[in-house]
Structure 1
Amino acid sequence: MNSAEHLSALRKWMVSKKVDAVYLTCTDPHQSESVADHWKTVQWFTGFTGSVAWAIVTADKAAFWTDGRYTEQAKRQVDATLFALYSISDPKDPDRFDWLRNHIPQGGCLALDASVLSTANFRNIQSAMKSRDIRFELNLESFLNIWTDRPRIPQDSLYQLEEEFTVRTRREKLTALRKELREAAGEGAVTLVCGLDDVVWLTNLRGHDNPLYPFFHAYMVVGPDIALLMTDQRKVTAEQAEGLDADGIFLVPYRETEKFLSHIAAGAKVVLDPHKTPVALFEALPDTVEIVE
C-alpha cells in the first residue's frame, strides 16, 4: 500500500467509527528518543523516514509536521498532493493543535493511539481542544491492523551488564528506590516505571530493542515488598530469570501490564511520571488508587 491507499483506508475506518480526525505520532509506549520500527506509525503511513514527525487526518484534509532537521527530506518523501507539509521550527507554520482546532467540527471526535501517547501530551491536547468540546476515541488498533507487514517488537535476548559498569547491585538500587518512595509518598506506595532507561538501570540488564540505545521494552512496578518486570519473557534466559528471582524481581508478560495495573488494591498510592506513562496504562489504574505524580 502507498500513502494514498493508507489515507483511503484510514478515512473508511473513520467513517465506520464516526471519527472526525486522527492524530498520529511516531513514538513508542515509553516515550523513547528513538523507536523500534514497530512503532514508526507516521513513517509507515506517509513514507517519511526521519525520526520526528506527526500527522493529522480529517475527512478531506491531511497535514504533516516535522522539525527543522527534516524539512527538505519531508519535501522529497511525503506526497504534497496528499499532505500539507509544515515544520514545528518555522514560526510561520501553524501549530498542530491550532490546525486541528480549525479543522475538527464542534463536538467532533478525535482518534488517538492511547498505547503510545503520553498522559501529559494527552492532557495538552485536551486543553488545546477544550473550546471545541470534542470527544476522544483512544484505540487505533483496528485501523493499524491493515499494517499487515508491521515489524514485530524486537525479541533479541537480554544480556547482563558487567559488575564493573553497574556500580550498584539490583538489590541496592531497589533499596534506594524504596527509600525515595517512602519519603515521597509514604509507607506502602508503589511506583510505575515506564522509561526504558530507568528499567535498564534498575535491572542491570541491557537489550537490543532500540536502534540507538541498549534498551529493551519493559515496564516495572516497585513497592515495599514487590518488584515486577513486565517484558517479553522470551528475551530472558533461564539464568537471568533465576538471578532476577533471587533479587526479588518477578517476571510478568509485557502485554499483561494493563491487566495487572487494573487490580492494584484500593487506597494504594501509585507514583508515576505522566510524561512517560502512556494514556492506556494511566487509564488502566483503578479510580480507587491515589496517583502521585
Structure 2
Amino acid sequence: MENQVIQNRLQALREAMRAAGIDYYMIPTADFHNSEYVSDYFKVREYFCNFSGSNGTLVIWQEGAGLWTDGRYFIQAEKELEGTSVTLYRMREEGVPTITEFLEQNMKQGQTLGFDGRVIPAQSGKEYEKKFADKQISIVYDKDLAEGIWTDRPAFPAGKVTVLDEQIAGKSFEEKRGQVLEKLEKEGADAFLLTKLDDLMWLFNIRGCDVECNPVAMSYGYLTKDRTVLFIRKSALDEGVTAYLAAKGIEVEEYGDVVEYLKALSGEGKVLVDERHCSYGLYKTVAEKQTLVEKKNPTELLKAIKNPVELANMEKMYLKDSLALTKFIHWLKKNIGKTEITEITAADKLEEFRREIPEFLGLSFPTIGGYKANAAMMHYEATPESHAVLAPEGLFLVDSGGQYLGATTDVTRTIVLGPVSDEIKRHYTAVAAGMLQMTNARWLHGCTGRNLDILARQPVWNMGLDYKCGTGHGVGYILNVHEGPQGLSWQYVEGRPEAVIEEGMDVTNEPGIYVEGSHGIRIENVMVAKNDVKNEYGQFMHFETLTWVPIDMEAIDEKYMTETQRAFLYKYQREVYEKLSPYLDDEEKAWLLKETRADGTVILKN
C-alpha cells in the first residue's frame, strides 16, 4: 500500500534539489550538536521517510531514496518504510554498502552532494571531501532544503534552564573548568570550542529541557584561560540562572550568534575541536581563521568518571528505582488476566510507581513495552494506533528508566505472564546467564568493553544466536541515558573510539535474544567499575551492581546453566530480596521471597 504523503514530500524535495543543483541529498538523525536524540524541530529525516528510530540517515536522489540504520531498528524500519518507496539498507550486514561506498559507486564525475552542514559532524564531512575528491564531486553544505517544504515545522527549542546545586553535582563549575584547562594545556591548545550538549550541561552545572527525556539546553561553549563564553537562548534563562552565570564569571551570548563570534576571533592561538561532535559547518567556520587541535572533548572522559557524590546519589536512587519496577512486576503478575492491560497502560502504571519517588523528574526515555513478537523490535514503542493487549501467557519486555535528582536510570526486565515454550526458557536462561557472567567479571585495568563483551554474549553464541547491538553503554548523571566513551561491544569498527574502563565509570549490562515474529528477551542492569586488588600483575577491577530487580525464575531452566552460573543467579536474587524487602508490605514481601527463591527452598552447593 502506497504512502502517498511521504512520496509527495520526497517529490517536493527532489524539485528543491534540482533548483539548488544538488544530485544527492543527505538527511541524518541529528541536531546542530550531533545529539543521539533530537527535538521535534530536527526530525527532518522522519518527516521525509516515516522512520522514527533514533539512528538512521536518509539519502535522496532523483530516481530513488535509501535509509541506512543499524540492527536495533531493522524490523521497525521495514514496517515504517512500507509504501514510501524508500529502500532499507541494513548497516553492517554482509553485502550492504555503507553510505560512503554507495555514493562512491553511484555518483558520477562532477556531481553535487548536498546536506545541511549544521547537522553533519565534521568527521563525516571531511571523509566525504577526501573520498569524493577524485570524482570532483562538489559538496554544498549550506542548504536546509526542508525549510521551504516542511511548512508546519515545530518551533526551535528554547525550554527553561535550571541550575544543578553543587551538593548534587559533587563538583563546582570552577573545579570542572580547572580540570578542562589542565587537559587543554596538555594538548597544546589555548581555547576549546565545546558543542556537545550533555558535556556542556556537566561543565556548567546546568540542565535544560530542549530534548524529550534528555535534560539538555541548546548551547555552545568557548573556553580560554581568561574567559568562558556560553551561547544559549537568553529567553530560556530566568533571573536565578542569569545571576548564577554572572557570579561564576560566565559571559552569556545569544545561541544564534556563535558563528559571528567565531568569525570575529583574531586568529591567534590553537582551538581544540572534537570533529565527532562539532558540526561540519561550524568546523569550517573555525578552520578559516584558527589553528585547530583536533582531539576528543576532554569533558567527555571527565564526565564519564562519576565523582563520589554522584556515585553515592546514584546508589540511593537506583535502589528506589529498582523498588518501583519490582512493585510494578508484582502488580502486573497479580492483575494479568483479571483486568485489561495493554502495552500502553502497563507503561503508564510503571510511570505511576516512579512518580511516587520524591526525587522523580521524568522519564529518561520513552518506555519500551513490547509483548510477545513486539519485543523482538529492540526499540519498539507502542502507540494508541498500534499496540498489543497483554494476556496471561508469553513474555512482556519492559525497558524503562527515570530522571531523578541524583541519577539517570535504565533497566530492562522480561516478565513471564503465563505459559512459555521450552525454546523461550532456553533463550531466557542464556540471557540471564550472560548478564550474570558480566556482573561477576574480574579484569586487569587497561581493558576496554571489547575485551569483556564475550562474557555476556558467550551463552547466546553457544546456541548459534546473537543480538545486533552492543552489550552495554554508559549512562549519564541527571543527563542522557546513553553516554560515552565507555561501552561493552565485541565488534571492531574502524573509526569507532574505544575507552579503557576506569574506576567510577558506569555501564549497562544488557544481553538479549530477539526472534522476529515470536519473542524478545533482554535483561539489563547498570553497574559501576571499581578497583579491586592491586599486585605484581597490575590493578584488577570488578563491577558493583546498582540495579536490584528480580530475574523472573518462571523462565529459568537450570539444566541450561553451569553450577557457577546458578551460584551467580541465586546470589543476585538473595541480594535483591535483602535490599528491597525492608521497603515492601507483607504481601509484596512474601511474593518477592518466592520470586527470588530466597526462602531457602534452593540449597546451593558450596
TM over 0.5: yes
Report the Cα offset of residue 199 of structure 1.
Answer: 0.5
Report the Cα offset of residue 219 of structure 1.
Answer: 0.5
Asked whether 1:32 is paired with 2:32, we answer no
Report the Cα offset of residue 235 of structure 1.
Answer: 1.0
Alignment of structure 1 residues 1-293 onto 2, 5 Å: 2-80=5-83, 82-185=85-188, 189-285=190-286, 287-293=288-294
Matched positions, count: 291
Q: Distance in 1 between matches of 2:17 and 2:231?
A: 33
Question: Any gaps of 5 or more consecutive residues in structure 2?
Answer: 295-606
What is the RMSD computed on CA atoms of the aligned residues? Answer: 1.7
Deviations 1:161-220 (A, max 9, x none): 12222111112222222232233225xx11100111210111100111122321111110
Q: Distance in 2 between matches of 1:69 and 1:182?
A: 40
Deviations 1:22-59 (A, max 9, x none): 11111112121211121121111101111111111112
Give secondary structure in 2 for the equivalent of 1:132.
coil
Cα–Cα, structure 1 residues 16 and 249, in superposed 2: closer, same or farther, change >3 Å? same
Q: Distance in 2 between matches of 1:156 and 1:143?
A: 23
Moved over 3 A (4+): none
Question: Any gaps of 5 or more consecutive residues in structure 1?
Answer: none
Q: Distance in 2 between matches of 1:244 and 1:196?
A: 17
Which deviates more from structure 2 when the two are superposed, residues 207-216 or residues 243-252? 207-216
Report the Cα offset of residue 88 of structure 1.
Answer: 0.4
Report the Cα offset of residue 93 of structure 1.
Answer: 2.1
TM-score between both structures, scaled by the size of structure 1: 0.93
Q: Distance in 2 between matches of 1:177 and 1:70?
A: 37
The answer to whether the 8 A contact 2:232-2:253 is kept is yes
Report the Cα offset of residue 255 of structure 1.
Answer: 0.8
The answer to whether the 8 A contact 1:20-1:59 is kept is yes
Q: Distance in 1 between matches of 2:70 and 2:145?
A: 29
Which deviates more from structure 2 when the two are superposed, residues 175-184 or residues 12-21? 175-184
Report the Cα offset of residue 268 of structure 1.
Answer: 2.2
Larger radius of gyration: 2
Q: Please tell me the residue identity of whatever aligns with 2:162.
A: Y
The answer to whether the 8 A contact 2:60-2:66 is kept is yes
Q: Percent identity?
A: 26
Q: Please tell me the residue identity of whatever aligns with 2:102.
A: W
Q: Distance in 2 between matches of 1:30 and 1:65?
A: 20
The answer to whether the 8 A contact 1:97-1:129 is kept is no
Q: Distance in 2 between matches of 1:161 and 1:81?
A: 45
TM-score between both structures, scaled by the size of structure 2: 0.46
Give secondary structure in 2 for the equivalent of 1:164.
helix
Deviations 1:258-277 (A, max 9, x none): 11011111222111111111
